[in-house]
Amino acid sequence: MASNTSKTARASVRAGQAGAAGGALSVLGEFKYLIPLNGGKHVYVRNLTNGKTVHLSTTSEKFVEEIKVLAAAGHTAKIRAELAVLATSHPNDGWAATEARLVEAGAFGDEAAA
C-alpha cells in the first residue's frame, strides 16, 4: 500500500506508538490539561487517559466528570496548579470559583470543601 505521508511524519507516528506501548508520554514542552475559552465559561480539556480533547462548559457535569477521570489517573496536582495559574493570570474569568465547584463536587477524590 503506497503512502503519501512524509518520512518525518511516519517516523513521528512510529515514535508515538512506541512511547504509548511502553506507557510513556513524550511531548515537546509543557503539556496543558486545560485550555481556557470564552472568558473562563468554556474550556478544552486534554485527557491523557484516552487521548481526546473535549470542549466543555466549566459549569457542566461533563466537565466535572472529565476532571474526575484525570484526577483518578493521578493528575490532580497538575490540574490544581493549572487552575491556580488561570485564577492568577485571568482573575476576572472565575477560575477560583471553577476550582471551588470542582472541589465541592468531589472531582479531586477524597478532598472535601473546606
Domain assignment of residue 7, yes or no: no
SS3 state of residue 109:
coil
Domain assignment of residue 99, yes or no: yes
Q: Are 63 and 43 within 8 A, CB to CB?
A: yes
Q: What string of pLDDT tens digits covers the 114 residues of the chain?
A: 455 767 776 666 665 555 444 444 444 457 789 999 999 999 999 988 888 999 999 999 999 999 999 999 999 999 999 999 999 999 999 999 999 999 999 999 865 444
Distance CA 44, CA 37 (A): 7
Which conformational region is residue 109 in: left (phi greater than 0), alpha (psi within -120 to 50 degrees), or beta? left
pTM (two decimals): 0.70
Domain assignment of residue 42, yes or no: yes
Give ∠ CA 101-106-111 in degrees, rounded to 5.
Answer: 105
Distance CA 84, CA 48 (A): 20
Domain assignment of residue 112, yes or no: no
Q: Are 33 and 82 within 8 A, CB to CB?
A: yes
Domain assignment of residue 114, yes or no: no
* Total domains present in the chain: 1
Which grid cell is 71?
Answer: 484526577
Owning domain of residue 46: 28-104
H-state helical runs in 1-114: 7-21, 61-72, 76-89, 95-104
Domain assignment of residue 66, yes or no: yes
